[in-house]
């Protein structure tokens, strides 16, 4: 009887367990929870399917330190520039501050032009004085048109001159699909592309002193008279985010340029023309995660035996230290670090004179037989050719050293 009860209890427990598993599975399916595909490593997922499935009409994902484009979808399609133009004003401001021509504590006197700006603003009064720092806040977090106009005038001297500088700087950065017709980006004719915006963000990201302003969620300016709310929701929902800007319009849809850091990687995601803010934020996070999960930075390591080279000088053999030239970090698929192989060729001996920076060989890095990076091996110092006077000096020095 006891054995029968034990058997019944075991069968009942098994039935309950099966029921619970089935119920959880059903609930998971109804809730749209993770499927088996979500547990597939990022590098085995069809990235093209992810990119094509975006609601964004145009998108680009780049690794900013190397400039490598990781993913893209119609990256050169022109669209409204909108508040992205303010990133260029911020770049010009950062460069002026870095050169010492401008400081955060400098003040700007609000012009009639700045006061006349409509749309998003901090309600500046004509003739009002406001610091450069507060204007940076209003542009970074608040997308303020009047603040942007006042800042542009302070940086360039006038609104027209600011537009000239903006277009000139865009050309220098290779932003060939971008045209600015006013400093706020709100007027007719202001256009840009996802690719160009990524180039702009990569340059602006170099100025770390602006990061606190670009990642600020809530703030106030003008002694609390104007409140700033950042439309880039990722500044409080995505770990490692370092800025940039979100905005939208009926014509352009929902747009975002977001930058983030994780380990050695710095990634920029630009999405233009998303169906909604919810889609925009979700897709930006998905692409950031995809980039960090799929790729990593490889910093070239030098072979231990590539240290010195022999130089024949007046019949005597000397040694000179060697160093690589033309090497830089690159992006590689995550997990393939150990697959990188290094090979170098160097002259067995060099004849003096040898100049600092003179090529002594070549170095290359390969993965699976394919060259992924190559550079030169150069001498680190000068070695003069031995002449009669140098020979006498060396002989005397050697005799005195004995």
- The C-alpha angle 397, 398, 400, rounded to 5 degrees, equals 65
Q: What is the pLDDT of residues 139-175, one digit of tens each?
A: 999 999 999 999 999 999 999 999 999 999 999 999 9
Report pLDDT for 376.
85
pTM: 0.79
Residue 313, pLDDT > 70, answer no
The Cβ of residue 160 has, within 10 Å, a number of other Cβ atoms equal to 14
- Residue 256's H or E segment, with its range, is strand 253-262
Instruction: Indicate if the pLDDT at residue 321 is higher than 50.
Output: yes
Give 183's DSSP letter.
S
Whether the bond into 196 is cis, omega within 30 of 0: no
**pLDDT tens digits, 7-56:** 444 444 444 343 333 433 333 333 333 232 333 344 445 788 889 899 99
Question: pLDDT value at position 352?
Answer: 65
Task: Sketch the domain layout of the chain as residue ranges.
Answer: 44-296, 308-401
Fold matches, 44-296 and 308-401: no
Q: What is the pLDDT of residue 206?
A: 97
Which residues make beta-bridge pairs with 346? 361
According to DSSP H, which parts of 100-256 are helical? 112-115, 132-140, 145-156, 159-172, 194-204, 211-214, 234-237
Q: Is 187 left (phi over 0), alpha (psi -120 to 50) or beta?
A: beta
Of 123, 110, 68, the C-alpha closest to 265 is 68
Which tens digit of pLDDT belongs to each residue from 359-381? 778 888 999 889 999 888 777 77
CATH class label, 308-401: mainly beta
Nearest by Cα to 272 from 238, 247, 235, 241 = 247
Count the alpha carbons within 13 Å of 338 in the hemisphere toward its beta carbon.
1
d(CA 113, CA 108): 13
Do 313 and 383 contact (CB within 8 A), yes or no? yes
CATH class name, domain 44-296: alpha beta
């Amino acid at each position: 009887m006891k054995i029968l009860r034990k058997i019944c209890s075991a069968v009942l427990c098994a039935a309950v367990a099966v029921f619970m598993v089935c119920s959880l599975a059903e609930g998971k399916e109804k809730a749209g929870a993770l499927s088996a595909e979500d547990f597939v490593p990022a590098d085995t997922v069809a990235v093209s399917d992810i990119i094509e499935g975006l609601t964004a009409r145009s998108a680009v994902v780049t690794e900013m330190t190397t400039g490598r484009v990781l993913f893209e979808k119609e990256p050169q399609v022109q669209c409204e520039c909108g508040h992205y133009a303010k990133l260029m004003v911020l770049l010009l401001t950062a460069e002026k501050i870095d050169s010492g021509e401008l400081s955060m504590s400098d003040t700007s006197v609000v012009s009639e032009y700045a006061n006349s700006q409509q749309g998003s603003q901090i309600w500046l009064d004509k003739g009002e004085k406001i610091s450069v720092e507060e204007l940076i806040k209003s542009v970074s977090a608040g997308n303020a048109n009047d603040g942007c106009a006042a800042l542009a005038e302070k940086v360039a001297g006038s609104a027209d001159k600011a537009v000239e500088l903006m277009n000139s700087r865009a050309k220098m950065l290779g932003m060939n699909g971008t045209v600015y017709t006013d400093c706020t980006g709100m007027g007719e004719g202001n256009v840009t592309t996802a690719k160009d915006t990524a180039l702009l963000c990569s340059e602006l990201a170099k100025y770390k002193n602006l990061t606190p302003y670009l990642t600020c969620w809530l703030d106030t300016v003008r002694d609390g008279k104007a409140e700033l709310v950042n439309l880039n929701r990722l500044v409080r929902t995505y770990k490692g985010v370092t800025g940039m800007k979100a905005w939208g319009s009926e014509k352009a849809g929902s747009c975002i340029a977001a930058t983030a850091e994780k380990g050695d990687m710095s990634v920029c995601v630009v999405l233009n023309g998303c169906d909604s803010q919810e889609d925009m934020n979700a897709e930006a996070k998905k692409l950031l995660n995809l980039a960090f999960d799929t790729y990593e930075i490889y910093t070239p390591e030098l072979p231990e035996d590539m240290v010195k080279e022999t130089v024949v000088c007046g019949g005597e053999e000397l040694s000179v230290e060697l160093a690589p030239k033309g090497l830089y970090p690159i992006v590689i698929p995550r997990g393939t670090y150990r697959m990188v192989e290094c090979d170098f060729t160097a002259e067995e001996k060099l004849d003096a004179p040898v100049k600092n920076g003179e090529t002594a060989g070549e170095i290359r890095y390969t993965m699976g037989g394919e060259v992924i990076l190559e550079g030169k091996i150069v001498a680190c110092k000068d070695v003069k050719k031995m002449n009669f006077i140098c020979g006498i000096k060396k002989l005397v020095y050697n005799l005195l050293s004995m």
